[in-house]
Amino acid sequence: MITGKGITKTFKQRGSVLAGREVQALRGVDFEIPKGGAVSFIGESGCGKTTLGRIIAGLETYDGGEIGINGTLMSSLKQKQRQPYFRRIQMIHQDPYSALNPTRTIHQTLYAPLKLRAKQTGRDEKWIDERAAEVLSLVGLDPGSVLSRYPHQLSGGMRQRVVIARALTVDPEVLVADEAVSMIDVSLRLGILALLKDLRERLGVSVLFITHDVATSRYIGDDGEMYVIYRGQVVERGPVDTVIADPVHPYTQSLLSAIPVLHGLEEPGAQPVVPVEAMDGSQEAQGCLFASRCPFRQDRCETERPVLQVTEGAPQEHACFYPERRDVIARPMSGV
Amino acid sequence: MSVILESTSTSATMRRNFWQGVWRVMKRKPSRMVGVVIILGFAFMGIFGPMFYPDILPDNANAITQPPSWEHWFGTDPQGRDVVALVVKGSRYVLLSAAVTAVITVVVGTGLGLFSGFKRGRWDTVLMRVTDMKLTIPGLPLLLVLATVWKFGNPFQMGLVLGLLGWGGVARAVRAQTLSLRERGFIEAARGLGLSTTHIVGKELLPSMAPYIAMNMLIAVTGAVYAQVGLFFLGVLPYESDNWGVMLNLAVFQAGAMIQPYALGYLLAPLLAILLLTLGIVLVVDAMDEIFNPRLREE
Amino acid sequence: MAKQAPGVRIDGLTVVYKTPAGELPAVRDVSLELKPGTITGIVGESGSGKSTMALSLLNAVQPPGRIQHGSVEIDGLGDVAKFRGEELRKARGRHIGYVFQAAQNSLNPLKTVGKQLLDLGRSHGVEDLRALVREAKDLLGRMGLDGARVLDSHQHELSGGMRQRVGIMLALVLNAHLVVLDEPTTALDMITQSNILKIVREVHAERGLTTLVITHDIGVVAEVADRLAVMYGGRLVEQGPTREVLADPQHPYTRGLIRAIPRLVGDINEAQALPGRPPTLATVPKEGCVFRERCPLRMDVCDTVDPAAQAYGERIVACHAVDSAVKVPSREGEHA
Q: Do C88 and C188 fall within a single domain? A: yes
Residue after which a domain boundary falls, among A170, A191, A207 = A170
Contact B208 A101 (CB under 8 A): yes
What total number of domains does chain A contain? 2
Mean pLDDT, residues A190-214 taken together: 91
* C214 and C164 in a common domain: no
Nearest Cα residue to A103 out of B215, B292, B195: B292
Among A123, A152, A170, identify where a domain stops.
A170
Inspect the interface and report whether the beta carbons of A262 and C264 lie closer than 8 Å: no
Task: Please report whether residue C291 resides in a domain.
Answer: no
Residue of A nearest to B185 (CA): A99
Pick the last residue of a domain from A127, A150, A170.
Answer: A170
Distance from CA of C94 to the nearest CA of A (A): 31
How far apart CA B119 and CA B182 sit, in angstroms, is 10
Residues of chain B in contact with residue A107, where contact means CB-CB under 8 angstroms, are: 7, 10
Query: What are chain B's partners, defined as 3 or more CB pairs within 8 angstroms?
Result: A
User: Are residue C118 and residue C259 in the same domain, yes or no?
Assistant: no
Which chain A residue shows the shortest CA-CA distance from B190? Answer: A113
Please determine, for residue A166, whether its predicted confidence score (pLDDT) is greater than 90. Answer: yes
Backbone φ and ψ for A239, nearest 5 degrees, come out as -60, 140
Q: How far is A118 from chain B (nearest CA, A)?
A: 13
The CATH number of whichever domain residue C69 belongs to comes to 3.40.50.300
Final residue in a domain of this structure, among C279, C295, C312: C279
Residues 81-110 of C with CB under 8 A from A: none
Whether residues C244 and C187 fall in one domain = yes
**Cβ contact (<8 Å) for C220 and A260?**
yes
- List of chain B residues whose C-beta atoms are within 8 Å of the C-beta of residue A103: 207-208, 210, 292-294
Residue C61 lies in a domain: yes
CA nearest neighbour of B280 among B48, B45, B19, B15? B45
Is C290 domain-assigned? no
Is C275 a domain residue? yes
pLDDT in tens, A258-289: 999 988 888 888 888 988 877 666 677 788 99
Give C-chain residues touching A275 at CB under 8 angstroms: 191
Q: Which domain holds residue B99?
A: 33-47+71-298
For residue B191, being part of any structural domain is answered with yes
Cβ within 8 Å of residue B171, ≥6 positions away = B108, B109, B110, B112, B113, B116, B127, B131
Residue among B2, B3, B183 with most chain A CBs within 10 A, to mutate: B3
Same domain, C22 and C137: no
Are A257 and C194 a contacting pair at CB < 8 A?
yes
Residue B189 to residue A99, Cβ atoms within 8 A: yes
B100 is a domain residue = yes
Q: Is C289 inside a domain boundary?
A: no
Q: How sure is the predictor about C99, in pLDDT bands with cuts at 50, 70 and 90?
A: confident
On whether the CB atoms of residues B143 and B161 are closer than 8 A, the answer is: yes
Q: Let me know if residue B26 belongs to a domain.
A: no
Domain at B120, CATH number: 1.10.3720.10
In sequence order, what are the residues at sequence separation of 6 or more whose Cβ sits closer than 8 angstroms to the Cβ of residue B148? Answer: B236
Contact C192 A189 (CB under 8 A): no
Report, as an integer, the average pLDDT of C27-42.
Answer: 93
Is A187 close to C277, i.e. CB distance below 8 A? Answer: yes
Minimum CA–CA partner of B188 in chain A: A59
Nearest residue of A to residue B2, measured between CA atoms: A144
From chain C residues 180-219, the ones with a CB under 8 A of any chain A CB are 188-195, 197, 216-219
By C-alpha distance, which of C184, C186, C211 is closest to C100? Answer: C184
Backbone torsion region of residue A20, taken as left when φ is above 0, otherwise alpha when ψ lies between -120 and 50, otherwise beta: left
Interchain pair A59, B184: CB under 8 A? no
Shortest CA distance from A222: residue in chain C: C268
Domain count, chain B: 1
A40 in any annotated domain: no
pLDDT above 60: residue A17: no
The angle formed by the CA atoms of residues A172, A178 and A183, to the nearest 5 degrees, is: 120
- Chain C contact set for A187 (CB, 8 A): 45, 256-257, 260, 273-274, 277-278
For residue A88, tell me if it sits in a domain.
no
Residue A136 lies inside a defined structural domain of this protein? yes
DSSP three-state, residue C244 = helix
C272 vs A190: CB contact, 8 Å cut-off? yes
Q: Classify residue B263: in a domain, yes or no.
A: yes
In a domain, residue B226? The reply is yes
Which residue range(s) make up the domain with C166?
108-170
Nearest to A329 among C193, C217, C264 (CB): C264
Distance from CA of A265 to the nearest CA of C (A): 5
- Tens digits of residue pLDDT in B140-177: 788 888 877 777 778 888 888 888 888 888 888 899 99
Nearest to A186 among C157, C197, C260 (CB): C260
The ipTM (two decimal places) reads 0.86
Give this prediction's pTM: 0.85
A93/B185 touch (CB, cutoff 8 Å), yes or no: yes
- Using an 8 Å Cβ cutoff, are B265 and B74 in contact? yes
C180 and C247, same domain (yes or no)? yes
A219: in domain: no
Give, as one character, the DSSP assignment of residue C261. S
Main-chain dihedrals φ then ψ at residue C273, nearest 5 degrees? -75, 150
Among the residue ranges A298-307, A326-335, C65-74, C218-227, the one predicted with the least confidence is A326-335
Q: How many angstroms separate the CA atoms of C244 and C239, rounded? A: 10
Is B256 contained in some domain? yes
Angstrom distance (rounded) from CA C162 to CA C203:
16
In a domain, C320, yes or no: no
CB contact under 8 A, C223 and A219: no
Mean pLDDT of chain A: 88
What is the model's pLDDT at position B10? 60
C213 lies in a domain? yes
Tell if the CB–CB gap between A187 and C274 is shorter than 8 Å: yes
Q: What is the pLDDT of residues A280-320, one digit of tens each?
A: 666 777 889 999 899 999 999 989 999 998 877 778 899 99
pLDDT reported for residue B3: 41
Q: Are residues C180 and C70 in the same domain?
A: yes
Report the residue of A103, A120, A168 to disrupt the B interface, i.e. the one with the largest count of B CBs within 10 Å. Answer: A103
- With 0-12 CB in 10 A as exposed, 13-18 as middle and 19+ as buried, what is B166? buried
Contacts of A among chains (3+ CB pairs under 8 A):
B, C
Contacts of C189 in chain A (CB under 8 A): 44-45, 212
Domain count, chain C: 2
Are B1 and A83 inside 8 Å of each other by CB? no
In a domain, B117, yes or no: yes
- Asked if residue B239 belongs to a domain, the reply is yes
Query: Are C16 and C54 found together in one domain?
Result: yes
Enclosing domain of residue A166: 100-170
* Residue-level pLDDT at C2: 44
A135 assigned to some structural domain: yes
**Quick check: is C233 in a domain?**
yes
pLDDT digits (tens, 9 = 90+) for C210-233: 999 999 999 999 999 999 999 999
Count CB pairs under 8 A between chains A and C. 133
Going by pLDDT thresholds of 50, 70 and 90, the confidence category of residue C1 is very low
Question: In this structure, are strands C39-43 and C210-215 parallel, antiparallel, or unpaired?
Answer: parallel
Do both C158 and C187 map to the same domain?
no
3-state secondary structure chain A: CEEEEEEEEEEECCCCCCCCCEEEEEEEEEEEECCCCEEEEECCCCCCHHHHHHHHCCCCCCCEEEEEECCEEHHHCCHHHHHHHHCCEEEECCCCCCCCCCCCCHHHHHHHHHHHHHHHHCCCHHHHHHHHHHHHHHCCCCHHHHCCCCHHHCCHHHHHHHHHHHHHCCCCCEEEEECCCCCCCHHHHHHHHHHHHHHHHHHCCEEEEEECCHHHHHHHCCCCEEEEEECCEEEEEEEHHHHHHCCCCHHHHHHHHCCCCCECCEECCCCCCCCCCCCCCCCCCCCCCCHHHCCCCCHHHHHCCCCCEECCCCCCEECCCCCCCCCCCCEECCCC
